[in-house]
């Protein structure tokens, strides 16, 4: 009767649910540690204090993570994650990190121009002049739109770019 | 009668030049994002939040609701012409809509989609007009205990309805609840879960979460999964207007789907996509010729397109009357209210009556605008698809980044919006639904506050949540829904096993 095969050891390591469960448990554990270090003012204990709620949620996360890990171990076949094209996503995330780093140094216009140009090129636009033109116009338009339309001055370099 | 008088006042506000213009801009923008696959109403509305800062509350909300409605109208276009749903809510439309287009009947398919959308959208606003004051009136008597249980039940329902996996739905909710804790506790002033980062001492702005998960996250997902440039699309040949047979078949489907969509929309977590799927299934079940479905049945276009629009009116009910949003887009709208310092909840309809009725009236206006705009502008809207995705998606990333930065000139918000984008992408990749996280993060501060207030009022006796009848009913409802989901999935699994054994 017990036909449901448990996942083989190698299959389990490919299970997205296993890693998700572990990650969720880890987040819950971090939350738990953080919750325990919250210094509750005297007299405010139990449900009235600032600790109970985050503590409860953290424990809940740990439990849910464990449930997911157990289910992954008992599953007949590993559930695979759908990350899409790894190369694309890694490059785009790297560009986002680069933008965040450059933003403080170069200001908005230059860093946005660079980010847009790199992404346009990466996503398949071959004509370099078009890449540079659209990136420049777009970065400038967003800057002016935020400044004149929304009254937000985005940071720029001392040269005003 | 009272609702009617207030609605007339709302029309007076909604029909001013600036608000009409806001509605028009919103409707056009919504249709555009509806047409574009990979861009949805929640993404667009989230990205518009920085713009909302510079507008009057009524104009901003009217524009955003125009986007919401317009996306439902626009979603049908690519479904019919390319079999690529522009929105999740138009997935079912693609089946019979594309079959009709292949038979040279794209015109009637798009026309019936627009007409159905109009009727469904308008009927659901009528429902909203008369139901909202009643529900808000009842909710006024809720104390903190009732409120806590209501929000808990809404979150449980959301985890059940969104996503196939209950555990993953709960994980999404718990993550949202935990993220909301980060920052300074308003009642005691102690900092919680900040781990020494000063940038999050004031908490993580819900708008940063929304723009990250819905804006950056959606773009990352789309870029990782897009397959080349847009494929072939069928043109509109022949007549545009549905003939007598089309109309005869569509009418009953439109009326049924209006009611169904509205009711489904009210439930937290269900929204337009579920409404579309359910209405299609219902029409196929009760049809005398179910074999026509999938081969170009016009009811198969009319039903989901009507239902996804009538769900919008329903979805606004819990958001406006209880302060409990049921979908991604209404969650963003709720966050926008708080941006203006407007406290959502049952008092909203009395305290900000002018605003609420202007919004409701604008929904009638926007539905008319969309009906008028939609049919003549179809050729123009299809041209939008010629805008290369490689230029559009990076633009959204930049706007999300600086939009978050501009909220309080904070560099940490820029980093956080990207971080939440990556989180949203990862969650989608492993099958964890995003909307429960967002809803939980929005509701969490109020939930915790209600929890503490209720225990304070009852002198630390937590059984108050069970002894108050209304609170107990909400809790019981939440548990019943979860229990029913577990039982039905067990059964389904067993049946699946049975079937395979038979073979």
Helix ranges, B83-181 (H): 91-102, 106-139, 144-161, 166-181
Beta bridge partners, B184, equal: B191
pLDDT at residue A26, rounded to an integer:
95
B192 chain-A contacts, CB cut-off 8 A: 34-35, 38, 50, 54
d(CA B161, CA B478): 12
Distance (Å) from the alpha carbon of A90 to chain B's nearest alpha carbon = 9
Beta bridge partners, B191, equal: B184
Residue B86 backbone dihedrals phi, psi, to 5 degrees? -70, -25
Please report the DSSP string for B176-207 in residue order.
Answer: HHHHHH-EE-TTT--EES-TT-GGGTT---HH
pLDDT at residue B500, rounded to an integer:
36
pLDDT at residue B498, rounded to an integer:
43
Query: Is B241 within 8 Å of B108 (Cβ atoms)?
Result: yes
In three-state secondary structure terms, B327 is coil
Query: Is B360 within 8 Å of B10 (Cβ atoms)?
Result: yes
A46 chain-B contacts, CB cut-off 8 A: 455, 460
Question: Kind of pairing, strands B183-184 and B191-192?
Answer: antiparallel
Sign of dihedral through CA atoms B213, B216, B218, B222? negative
Minimal Cβ distance to B460: which of A46, A53, A112: A46
B167 chain-A contacts, CB cut-off 8 A: 64, 67-68, 71
pTM for this entry: 0.88
pLDDT at residue A98, rounded to an integer:
95
Residue of chain B minimizing CA distance to A34: B193
Query: Is B121 within 8 Å of B315 (Cβ atoms)?
Result: no
Helix ranges, B182-269 (H): 206-210, 217-225, 244-266
In three-state secondary structure terms, B182 is coil
Structure tokens at B234: 């069928």
Q: What is the pLDDT of residues A45-95, one digit of tens each?
A: 666 678 888 999 999 999 999 999 999 888 878 888 888 888 899 999 999
CB contact under 8 A, B167 and A61: no
pLDDT in tens, chain B (503 residues): 477 888 998 999 889 999 999 999 999 999 888 888 777 888 888 888 888 888 899 999 999 999 999 988 888 888 888 887 777 778 888 889 888 988 888 888 988 999 999 999 999 999 999 999 999 988 888 989 999 999 999 999 888 887 678 899 999 999 999 999 998 887 787 888 888 787 788 888 888 999 999 889 989 998 998 765 555 667 666 677 788 888 888 899 999 999 999 998 888 776 778 888 889 989 988 888 888 888 889 999 999 999 989 998 899 999 999 988 878 889 899 988 888 888 888 889 888 989 999 999 999 999 999 999 887 887 777 777 777 778 888 998 999 999 899 888 888 999 999 999 999 999 999 999 998 999 999 999 889 888 888 888 888 777 888 888 899 999 999 999 888 888 887 776 655 444 333 32
Q: Which residue, B400, B414, B316, is CA-closest to B363?
A: B316
Q: Is B270 exposed, middle or buried (0-12, 13-18, 19+ CB in 10 A)?
A: buried
- Residue range A128-135: average pLDDT? 94
Distance between the two ends of chain A, CA-based, in angstroms? 72
pLDDT at residue B237, rounded to an integer:
64
């Amino acid at each position: 009767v017990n036909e449901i095969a448990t996942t083989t050891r190698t299959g389990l390591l490919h299970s997205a649910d296993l890693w998700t469960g572990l990650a969720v448990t880890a987040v819950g554990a971090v939350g738990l540690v953080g919750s325990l270090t919250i210094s509750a003012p005297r007299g405010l204990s139990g449900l009235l204090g600032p600790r109970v709620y985050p503590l409860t949620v953290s424990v809940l996360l740990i439990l849910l993570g464990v449930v997911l890990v157990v289910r992954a171990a008992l599953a007949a076949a590993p559930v695979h994650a759908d990350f899409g094209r790894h190369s694309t996503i890694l490059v785009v995330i790297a560009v986002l990190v680069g933008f965040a780093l450059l933003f403080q140094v170069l200001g908005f216009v230059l860093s946005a121009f660079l980010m847009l140009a790199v992404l346009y090129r990466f996503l398949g636009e071959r004509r370099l002049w078009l890449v540079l033109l659209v990136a420049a116009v777009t970065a400038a338009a967003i800057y002016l739109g935020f400044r004149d339309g929304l009254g937000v001055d985005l940071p720029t370099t001392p040269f005003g770019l | 009668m009272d609702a009617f008088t207030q609605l007339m006042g709302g029309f007076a506000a909604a029909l001013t030049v600036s608000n009409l213009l806001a509605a028009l801009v919103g409707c056009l923008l919504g249709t555009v994002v509806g047409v574009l696959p990979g861009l949805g109403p929640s993404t667009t509305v989230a990205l518009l939040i920085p713009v909302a800062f510079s507008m009057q509350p009524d104009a901003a909300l009217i524009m955003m609701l125009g986007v919401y409605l317009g996306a439902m109208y626009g979603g049908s276009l690519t479904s019919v012409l390319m079999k690529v749903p522009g929105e999740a809510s138009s997935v079912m439309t693609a089946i019979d809509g594309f079959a009709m287009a292949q038979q040279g009947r794209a015109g009637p398919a798009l026309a019936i989609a627009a007409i159905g959308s109009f009727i469904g959208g308008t009927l659901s606003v009528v429902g909203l007009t008369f139901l909202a004051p009643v529900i808000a009136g009842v909710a006024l008597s809720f104390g903190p205990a009732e409120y806590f249980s209501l929000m808990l039940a809404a979150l449980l329902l959301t985890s059940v309805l969104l996503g196939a996996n209950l555990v993953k739905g709960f994980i999404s909710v718990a993550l949202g609840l935990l993220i909301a804790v980060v920052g300074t506790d308003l009642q005691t002033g102690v900092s919680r879960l900040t781990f020494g980062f000063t940038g999050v001492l004031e908490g993580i702005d819900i708008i940063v979460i929304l723009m990250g998960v819905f804006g950056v996250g959606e773009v990352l997902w789309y870029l990782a999964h897009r397959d080349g440039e847009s494929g072939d699309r069928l043109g509109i040949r022949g007549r545009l207007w549905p003939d007598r047979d089309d109309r005869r078949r569509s009418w009953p489907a439109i009326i049924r789907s209006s009611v169904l969509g509205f009711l489904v929309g009210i439930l937290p977590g269900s929204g337009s996509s579920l409404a579309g799927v359910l209405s299609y299934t219902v029409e196929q079940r009760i049809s005398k010729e179910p074999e026509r479905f999938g081969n170009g049945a016009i009811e198969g276009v009319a039903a989901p397109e009507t239902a996804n629009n009538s769900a919008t009116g329903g979805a606004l009910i819990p958001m406006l009357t209880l302060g409990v949003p049921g979908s991604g887009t209404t969650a963003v709208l709720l966050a926008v209210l708080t941006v203006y310092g407007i406290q959502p909840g049952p008092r909203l309809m009395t305290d900000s009556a002018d605003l609420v009725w202007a919004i409701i009236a604008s929904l009638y206006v926007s539905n008319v605008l969309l009906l008028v705009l939609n049919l003549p502008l179809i050729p123009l809207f299809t041209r939008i698809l010629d805008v290369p995705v490689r230029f559009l998606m990076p633009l959204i990333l930049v706007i999300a980044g600086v939009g978050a930065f501009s909220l309080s000139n904070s560099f940490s918000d820029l980093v956080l919006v990207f971080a939440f984008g990556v989180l949203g992408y990862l969650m989608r990749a492993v099958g964890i639904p995003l909307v429960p996280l967002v809803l939980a993060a929005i509701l969490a501060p109020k939930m915790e506050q209600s929890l503490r207030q209720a225990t304070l009022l009852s002198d630390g006796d937590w059984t108050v949540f069970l002894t108050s009848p209304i609170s107990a009913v909400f809790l019981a409802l939440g548990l019943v829904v979860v229990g029913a989901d577990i039982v039905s999935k067990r059964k389904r699994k067993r049946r699946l096993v049975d079937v395979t054994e038979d073979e």
